[in-house]
Structures are given as C-alpha cells and as structure tokens.
Amino acid sequence: MDASRKKSIVGRAAVLEGLPEHPAVKALLAWNPDALADAKFDRGELTLTVAAEQIRAAAATVRAAGYNFFEDVTAVDWFPSAPRFQLSYHIISHTYKERIRLRVLVDGENPAVDSITPIWPSANYYEREVFDLFGIRFERHPNLRRIMMPDDWEGYPLRKDYPVEGYR
Amino acid sequence: MTETVGTPILEVPIAEGASDQHMVLNMGPQHPSTHGVLRLVLEIDGEIIVRLYPEIGYLHTGIEKTCEAKFYHQVVPLTDRIDYLSPMANNLCYCLAVERLLDLEIPEKAQWMRVLLSELTRLNSHLVWLGTHAMDIGALTVFLYTFREREDILRIFEAVSGQRMMTSYIRIGGLAMEPPLDFFDRIRAFIRTFPEKIDEYSNLLTGNPIFHSRLKGVGYLSAADAIALGVTGPPLRASGVDFDLRRDMPYSGYEKFQFKVPVSTDGDCWARYEVRLIEMRESVKMIQQALDGMPEGPIKADAPKIVLPDREKMKTQMEALIHHFKIVTEGFAVPAGEVYQGIESPRGQMGYYVVSDGTAKPYRVHMRNPTFATLQALETMCKGRMLADVVAVVGSIDIVLGEIDR
C-alpha cells in the first residue's frame, strides 16, 4: 500500500478538497450539493454519510456513477449514544476497482429507512438480516421478515442491550 | 435524479399464494443434495418450478454476537467455523481486516505463505464441491477420487497447523508458527501429480453424456442478473463478468503472482463447472510460484504487544513472558475505526467489516459471505425448469450453510 492510500482525511470540507475528482463524490454533489452530511477517507476507504431519508436516491446516484455492485449492508449499534444506529452500505465498482461506503445514521426510537431493493435486488437478504438482528425497518421492502431467527422470536440479538449469554 | 426502478412487488408466502393447480413441495432441511440444512419451499406446476423460496437460519449460531464478547485474537478460531470447507480464507480475511486497523506491516514470507495456503484451501474447497456436485448428478465415483486428493491437502494442513479442518493457522500479525521442515517438499510432491488428477476428473465427467445433459443449459443466469442479485466468484465469472478480487483489488501480495482468471459467457451450470476446473489448474500454478519464490525471513510481524512470542523466547526471556501474559489475559487495544476487507474466497467475494471503539474487543464484526447473496439468485436460475434441475443448480453454486446462517 503506497503512502497516499494510507493518509487519512477527516471531515466533509477536507474530503471535498482532497478528493474533488472522486467519481462518487462528484456524482453525489452534482445530484444534490447538500447530499453529503459528512465524509471521511481513512485506511484507504472512503465513507460518505448521507441523510437517512435520501439513501435510496443516493444509492441510485452512485450506481449511475459506476459503482455497480452492491456488496452488503449492515448496522452498528452505538447504544447508548445518539443517534443510535449506523447503517453501512458497501458498494464496489467493477470499473474503478474500488469500494465506497455509504453511511446512514438512524435514531433508536422506531428506527426505519427506505429499502434500496429497487436499486439493487441483492439488498433483499441483507436488509432482512439487519431487520432480524437489529430491528431496523426498511420501508417498501418486498418481504421484510425474520431470516435467521425463528418468526416468533422476541428481541433483536445484535443490539448492544441484548445479552450475549444467559436468559433474559 | 429520480428513482430508476419501480416499487417491488410484495412477495407473498408460497404456501398462501399458491394457486389451486399448483403443488407446494418442501425440499429439505434434511435432504442430502441441499448440502446442509437448506430448506427450499417450491411451488410446482407438474414438474415445472413456478416459484422457489429458500428458508434459511437452521444453522444460525450468532457468531457475530459472540465475536463482540471475545478479544481480537480469540475471534480467529470462530472464523474457522463459519465456512468449514475453507477455514484459511476466513482466517485470512479477518486477520487482514484487523491488521489494517492496527496498521501492521506483515513480513513478506508470511504473505507468501498466506497466498500458498489460500490457494490450497481453494483446491480443498473445489474438490469437495466437485465430488458432491457430481454425486448429486449421479456420478458417484468422482466423489471417491476427489476425496483421495482432499485427504492429501488435509494432511498438509495438519502438518502445518496441527488441525485438519479448523486450522486457525493464520493469525493477526502473521502465522501461528513456522512450517515444519519437509513442508514445502510435501506440497511440491502433491502439486507434481495434481494436474494429472484434474485430468482424471475431467475424463470422468467432461465427456460423460449424462453429466453433460444434466448441466448444459441448466440454471441460466445472465450477467446483468448476476450483478443485480449479488452473485460473486465462479458463478459470476461463469456469467461473463470478468472480475476477481485477487487480480483487481489485490491483497496479501497477490499482485506478485501471475494467473489467468477464467471467464465463460454461457452462464449455465456447465459453465460454472468449467470455470472452477480451470480455476483449480490456475491455483496449482500459483502454488508453484509461491514455492519457487518463497522469501526467507520471519513469519510474524515485529509487534511484541500484539503478536504472541515464540514458545522458546517465552521460556527464556522475561520481556516475552510479560507480553505473552498481557496478550492472553487482557488482549490488545485496537485503534478506533472501521475497516472492510474483501478477499476472493473459493465461493466468491468474502468481506469482513470490523468496527473498533478503541478497546481490546471488537465493537462489531460483520461477515459478508459469498453464498448468502448467491442464494438469492436461486429462484431466477430455477424458474421454469424441471424439479430435478434444482439439485443441479444448488450443487453448481456451491453453498455452505455454515456461512449462510453464521
């Protein structure tokens, strides 16, 4: 890994200055100048934070910009800090041979975001998994049911207030 | 920009949505050709598949949750158990992710050893796939042949790590221990004869009219569908998409190796069979290159607070003993941050997403396992085909339920 990949750029303004020609950044700004709430380039990975209600449109934008392959989406529970959930969408480009991460912050109270299955059908299972294990709803998902746990399971196992072992 | 595709049609559970002329059939979870505990709910019209719905989760063990309660180095043995046919690939992916969080420099010999072992793992995994896939189709003999060679590979794994399957040999910062003295000679002896063995399998299957007619044209998947449904690895390349992380986003020194990435545009089960067979031949070439160019030097990074000291040093040096005690009892702190590491596992793109909050335990570990996504394409591949083709298609995507359910 060369030195330029190692340096870390933190903050929206710094990323806009440091990576103005990045195709994903460019496309998102062309679509909506206020699209990026935050940005970070760390350990060779670009993380772009977008607003929760804009995730579907942002996903369509980066797909049109050449980031054609959706890898996965998962959540991180930052309990007890707020906003509680972070959703990380990993998207790879077969053209640029590069990966970006779209990041969305979701509140802990009744968490929900738009599903991106209309953009990438492959998000189907991953969104079901996040729903199953974190309890985050994906609006307009075709089949939002539990995937790993039994249908009648109570609670969301990957939340931080769910114990690792023992009975609740 | 507006949304490009319309709202998806709501999926109705098959048992409720099936029409009166159709039959609902359960395949699995205890069915020998589903390679584990995969349950498929099929809606069939006579023998034609109308709809197919995979029901998974029977092997869910909550590995991602368990990881959050362990020290970073204790997670390595858990990664073996996700995909029990390619443990080294899981070890490697997790270790690469944590090493990037720690900003560790891995010695060259360790990198080359990792490539060598990854490719042996690929052979191991493809051999199990070939044997079981052929057995599903009715060619029972091939299974006995492939398991003969797989046994050789497992013996090599046992020699290097002490374990046949749950190896945990690749560790954070390098490898667990030096390989034994005759290790490279054993691998040399193995790969000297192995290409002939691939010819042997090919002789048994490629010209076999039954095998041919069961696979040719069955389970077609177009390149656009493959990308849309998240298919990776050999099935993606068999659909005509030329993408391999080893070549396109190299890790662990893969950029120093010369190899071809087989691609086919047919997109059927036969293409997947051919792609994997060529992949095995390419792996042999890479193992040969790794053996020829194996550099000298240490196999562990120079980071005494992260990498466990050698047994010898621990018994003779106070410093090493202290480090050993500290690592084992309290682990090591990893700088806060998040890393996503992707590798090309035998089944496709594997990814480990590790989030650290600066403590000695991972805050979140998420695995992207290739066949979890590939399973979504099963309905597209089977729709409109005969019931018996489902067995061929499930075999051709090479699923491992351990990694699907985690």
Spell out the alpha helix ranges (H) of B44-182: 63-67, 75-80, 87-102, 108-137, 140-161
Computed over every residue of chain A, the mean pLDDT equals 85
Nearest to A60 by CA among A102, A20, A95: A102
What is the reported pLDDT for B276? 92
Q: Which residue of B has its CA nearest to A59?
A: B3
Pairwise CB contact (< 8 Å): A147 & B5: no
Q: State the smallest CA–CA distance between residue B5 and chain A in angstroms.
A: 5
What is the reported pLDDT for A6? 60
**Whether B287 contacts B119, CB under 8 Å:** yes
Give the whole-angstrom CA distance, residue B104 versus residue B108.
Answer: 12
Give the whole-angstrom CA distance, residue B237 versus residue B267.
Answer: 8
**Whether B214 contacts B137, CB under 8 Å:** yes
Q: State the smallest CA–CA distance between residue B243 and chain A in angstroms.
A: 7
What is the reported pLDDT for B236? 92
User: Does B35 fall in a domain?
Assistant: no
Pairwise CB contact (< 8 Å): A76 & B1: no
CATH number, residue A90: 3.30.460.80
Question: Quick one: which H or E segment has residue B287?
Answer: helix B269-292
User: Does A35 fall in a domain?
Assistant: yes
Could you list the residue range(s) of the whole structural domain that residue A103 is in?
Answer: 3-110
User: Does A152 fall in a domain?
Assistant: no
Taking CA atoms, A88 is separated from B108, B116, B231, in Å, by 32, 32, 20
User: Does A53 fall in a domain?
Assistant: yes
Tokens standing for B98?
A: 């944590």
pTM recorded for the entire structure: 0.90
Higher per-residue pLDDT: A165 or A4: A165
User: Does A163 fall in a domain?
Assistant: no
User: Does B1 fall in a domain?
Assistant: no
Which residue in B100, B366, B405 is closest to A43 by CB distance?
B100
Contacts (Cβ under 8 Å, ≥6 apart) of B391: B33, B136, B137
Give the whole-angstrom CA distance, residue B205 versus residue B216.
Answer: 12
Give the whole-angstrom CA distance, residue B259 versus residue B273.
Answer: 19
User: Does B57 fall in a domain?
Assistant: no
Q: State the smallest CA–CA distance between residue B38 and chain A in angstroms.
A: 12
Nearest to B376 by CA among B40, B4, B34: B40
- Cβ atoms < 10 Å from Cβ of A50: 25
User: Does A134 fall in a domain?
Assistant: no
**Per-residue pLDDT for B85 more than 60?**
yes
Spell out the alpha helix ranges (H) of B13-70: 14-17, 63-67
**Per-residue pLDDT for B15 more than 80?**
no
Give the whole-angstrom CA distance, residue B147 versus residue A44.
Answer: 41
User: Which residues in chain B are closer than 8 Å to A56, comparing Cβ atoms?
Assistant: 3
**Per-residue pLDDT for B284 more than 90?**
yes
Q: Provide the CA B404 distance to its chain's centre, in angstroms.
A: 11
CATH number, residue B334: 1.10.645.10
User: Does A73 fall in a domain?
Assistant: yes
Count CA atoms closer than 13 A to B90's CA, side-chain side.
Answer: 28
ipTM (interface pTM): 0.89
Q: Give the DSSP letter of residue B336.
A: S
**Per-residue pLDDT for A89 more than 90?**
yes
pLDDT digits (tens, 9 = 90+) for A4-41: 456 788 777 777 777 778 888 888 888 887 778 888 88
Place of tokens 């496709």: B348
Count CA atoms closer than 13 A to B128's CA, side-chain side.
Answer: 20
Q: What is the mean pLDDT of residues B208-214?
A: 89
Give the whole-angstrom CA distance, residue A29 versus residue B234.
Answer: 36
Place of tokens 């667990």: B176
Nearest to B244 by CA among A97, A101, A12, A2: A97
Q: SS3 letters for chain A?
A: CCHHHHCCEECHHHHHHHCCCCHHHHHHHHHCCCCEEEEEEECCEEEEEECHHHHHHHHHHHHHCCCCEEEEEEEEECCCCCCCEEEEEEEEECCCCEEEEEEEEECCCCCEEECCCCCCCCHHHHHHHHHHHHCCEEECCCCCCCCCCCCCCCCCCCCCCCCCCCCC
User: Does B199 fall in a domain?
Assistant: yes
Pairwise CB contact (< 8 Å): A143 & B11: yes
Q: What is the mean pLDDT of residues B70-93?
A: 89
Q: What is the mean pLDDT of residues A75-79?
A: 90
- Helix B269-292 to helix B387-396 angle (10° resolution) is 10
Q: Does A61 touch chain B (CB under 8 A)?
A: yes
**Per-residue pLDDT for B239 more than 80?**
yes
Sheet holding A36-42, edge to edge: A9-10, A36-42, A45-50, A98-106, A85-93, A69-77
pLDDT digits (tens, 9 = 90+) for B343-359: 999 989 999 999 999 88
What is the reported pLDDT for B5? 41
Number of domains composing chain B: 1
What is the reported pLDDT for B2? 34
What is the reported pLDDT for B279? 92
Could you list the residue range(s) of the whole structural domain that residue B121 is in?
Answer: 63-405
Give the whole-angstrom CA distance, residue B31 versus residue B395.
Answer: 13
User: Does B3 fall in a domain?
Assistant: no
**Per-residue pLDDT for A73 more than 80?**
yes
Which residue in B1, B339, B376 is closest to A31 by CB distance?
B1
User: Does A50 fall in a domain?
Assistant: yes
Computed over every residue of chain B, the mean pLDDT equals 87
Pairwise CB contact (< 8 Å): A142 & B10: yes
User: Does B307 fall in a domain?
Assistant: yes
User: Does A68 fall in a domain?
Assistant: yes
For chain A, give the longest Cα–Cα distance. Answer: 53
**Per-residue pLDDT for A123 more than 80?**
yes
Tokens standing for B355?
A: 């989030």
Number of domains composing chain A: 1
Give the whole-angstrom CA distance, residue B149 versus residue B221.
Answer: 31
- Phi then psi for residue B246, to 5 deg, are -60, -35
pLDDT digits (tens, 9 = 90+) for B363-399: 999 999 899 989 888 888 888 888 888 888 988 888 8
Higher per-residue pLDDT: B328 or A35: B328
Which residue in B6, B65, B349 is closest to A157 by CB distance?
B65
Quote the percentage of chain B above a pLDDT of 90: 34
pLDDT digits (tens, 9 = 90+) for B127-150: 999 998 998 888 888 889 999 999
Q: Give the 3-state secondary structure of residue B351.
A: strand
Which residue in A47, A72, A133 is closest to B351 by CB distance?
A72
